[in-house]
Chain A
Amino acid sequence: MNRKRRLFSQLVTLSWVAALIATVPITAAAQPTAQVPIETFELDNGMRVLTVHRPELASVYAGWVAHVGSANERPGITGISHFFEHMMFKGTHIIGTRDIERDLAVIAEQEEVQEKIRAEYRKQRERSRLGEIGDPFDDQYRTPELEQLEQRFRELVEEQRALMVKDEYDQIYTNAGASSLNAFTTHDLTAYFISVPANKLELWFWMESDRLSSPVFREFYSERDVVYEERRLRTESTPTGKFDEMLDSLFWQSHPYSWPVVGWPSDLESYTQAQADEYFATYYAPNNLTAILVGNFDPERVRELAQRYMGRLPRGEQEPPDVVTMEVAQNAEKRMIAHCDCQPQIEVRYHGVPFRHRDSYALDVLAALLNGSTGRLYKALVLEQEIASSASSRQDERKWAGLFSLHAESRGDATPEQLEQALYAEIRKLQEAPVADRELQKVKNRISADAYRRLQQPFFLLFQLMLYDGLGDYQYINQWSEKTLAVTAEDVQRVAKKYFQPENRAVGLYYRKAGTNAEEIPPELAELPEPVRQSIQSELRKIRAEEDPAVLEGSLSQLAAQKGQMPPQYQPAFSLLEKEIGDRLKALKEQPAADDGGES
Chain B
Amino acid sequence: MSFERSAYGALVLTLALSLASALPGSADSTGRKGKAIPERPEQLSFPTLDFEIPQGDRYRHSIAGSTPAYVVEDHSLPLVNISVRIRSGSYLDPADKPGLAFLTSSLVRRGGTASKKAEDFDEEVEFLAANIGTASSNSHSQAFASCITQALDSCLELFFEMLREPRFQLSRLEVEKARLLEGLKQRNDDAGDILDREWDWLLLGEDYFVARKPTADQLTSIQPADLRDFHRRSWRPEGMVFTVSGDIDTKEILAKLEHYLSQWPEVAADLPAWPPSLPTKKPQPGLYYVDKDIPQGKVYIGHLMPQVTDWDNPDLAPLRVMNEILGAGGFSSRIVQRIRSDEGLAYSAGTNYSIEPLWPGSFFVSYQSKSSTVALAAKIALEEIDRIQREPVSPSELETAKNSLIQTFPRRFESANQIASTFAFDQYLGRSHDYWHKWRGQMAKITAADVQRVAQKYLDPSQFLMLVVGKWDDIAPGDKDARATMKEFFDGKGQPLPIRDPLTLQPQP
Contacts and interface: CB of A to CB of B under 8 A. Distances in A.
Given A171-B400, A203-B46, A341-B189, A237 B76 contact: no
Interface of A: 1, 3-4, 6-8, 11, 13-14, 17, 20-21, 34, 55-59, 89, 94-95, 139, 142, 161, 166-167, 169-172, 174-177, 179, 181, 195, 197-200, 202-203, 206-207, 209-210, 219, 221-230, 232-233, 236-239, 296-298, 300-301, 304, 308-309, 312, 340-343, 372-374, 382-383, 386, 389-390, 409-412, 438, 441-442, 445-446, 448-450, 452-453, 455-456, 516, 518-519, 530-531, 534-535, 538, 541-542, 545
Contacts of A301: 19, 22-23
A453 B131 CA distance: 10
Contacts of A538: 216-217, 220
Contact of A197 (B23, B49, B343, B415): B49
A238 B44 CA distance: 45
Given A199-B49, A389-B178, A456-B77, A341 B188 contact: yes
A34 B191 CA distance: 44
Interface string B166-205: 0000010011001101111111111100000000000000
Interface in B370-409: 370, 372, 399-400, 403-404, 406-408
A301 B341 CA distance: 36
Contacts of B316: none
Interface core residue of B18, B78, B346, B403 (most chain A CB under 10 Å): B78
Contacts of A300: 23
A298 B128 contact: no
A453 B217 CA distance: 41
B39 interface: yes
B210 interface: no
A198 B11 CA distance: 10
A339 to B, nearest CB: 13
B182 A389 contact: yes
Contact of A6 (B76, B399, B411, B414): B76
Contacts of A17: 148, 150-151
Contacts, number: 286
B79 A456 contact: yes
B207 interface: no
Given A59-B410, A389-B182, 12 more contacts: A3-B9, A55-B12, A55-B15, A139-B372, A169-B331, A200-B46, A210-B41, A233-B368, A442-B126, A518-B187, A518-B501, A541-B503
Contacts of B406: 177
A12 to B, nearest CB: 10
B341 A226 contact: yes
B38 interface: yes
A564 to B, nearest CB: 27
B150 A13 contact: yes
Interface in B121-180: 122-124, 126-131, 146, 148, 150-151, 154, 171, 174-175, 178-179
B129 A446 contact: yes
Contact of A58 (B11, B19, B37, B38): B11
B248 to A, nearest CB: 15
Contact of A56 (B12, B332, B342, B344): B12
Given A175-B404, A442-B126, A58 B51 contact: yes
Contact of B504 (A224, A228, A309, A541): A541
Contact of B77 (A142, A209, A446, A452): A452
A470 to B, nearest CB: 23
Interface in B464-509: 480, 501-504, 506
Contacts of A210: 41
Contact of B341 (A166, A409, A410): A166
A530 B171 CA distance: 13
Contact of B46 (A202, A223, A340, A410): A202
A309 to B, nearest CB: 7
Given A3-B12, A176-B407, A237 B296 contact: yes
B76 A20 contact: no
Contacts of A342: 186, 189
B126 A237 contact: no
B296 A374 contact: no
A386 to B, nearest CB: 7
B126 A298 contact: no
A210 B41 CA distance: 10
B470 to A, nearest CB: 9
B462 interface: no
A151 to B, nearest CB: 10
Nearest to A7: B76
Given A223-B344, A226-B347, A411 B46 contact: no
B307 interface: no
Nearest to A17: B150
Contacts of B408: 177, 179, 197
A232 B370 contact: yes
Interface in B1-36: 5, 8-9, 11-13, 15-16, 18-20, 22-24, 34-35
A177 B403 contact: yes
Contacts of A171: 331-332, 400
B179 A411 contact: yes
Interface core residue of A233, A412, A545 (most chain B CB under 10 Å): A233
Nearest to A204: B41
B12 A1 contact: yes
A177 B404 contact: yes
Enumerate the 10 nearest inter-chain pairs by beta-carbon distance, A residue then B residue, closest first: A177-B407, A225-B344, A449-B129, A170-B331, A222-B344, A518-B185, A167-B331, A230-B347, A389-B182, A17-B150
Contacts of A166: 337, 341-342
A365 B83 CA distance: 30
Contacts of A202: 44, 46
25 contacts: A1-B12, A6-B77, A58-B413, A94-B39, A172-B42, A175-B400, A176-B403, A176-B407, A219-B342, A222-B341, A223-B344, A227-B347, A239-B189, A300-B23, A304-B23, A374-B126, A412-B178, A442-B126, A442-B127, A445-B128, A449-B148, A456-B415, A518-B503, A519-B185, A535-B220
Contact of A233 (B77, B296, B410): B296
Contacts of B151: 17, 20
Contacts of B399: 175
Contact of A3 (B8, B47, B130): B8
Contacts of B20: 298
B444 interface: no
B79 A199 contact: no
B286 interface: no
Interface core residue of B119, B174, B407 (most chain A CB under 10 Å): B407
A209 B148 CA distance: 41
Contacts of B280: none
A455 B410 CA distance: 20
Interface string B307-349: 0000000000000000000000111100001001111111110
A21 B12 contact: no
B291 to A, nearest CB: 13
A225 B479 CA distance: 14
A519 to B, nearest CB: 6
Nearest to B76: A7
Contacts of B51: 58
Given A58-B51, A206-B44, A226 B344 contact: yes
A61 B325 CA distance: 25
Nearest to B504: A541
Nearest to B109: A373
A402 to B, nearest CB: 26
Contacts of A172: 41-42
A452 B131 CA distance: 13
B125 to A, nearest CB: 8
A56 B16 contact: no
A453 B148 CA distance: 9
B183 to A, nearest CB: 8
Contacts of A177: 403-404, 406-408
Nearest to A233: B347
A441 B128 CA distance: 10
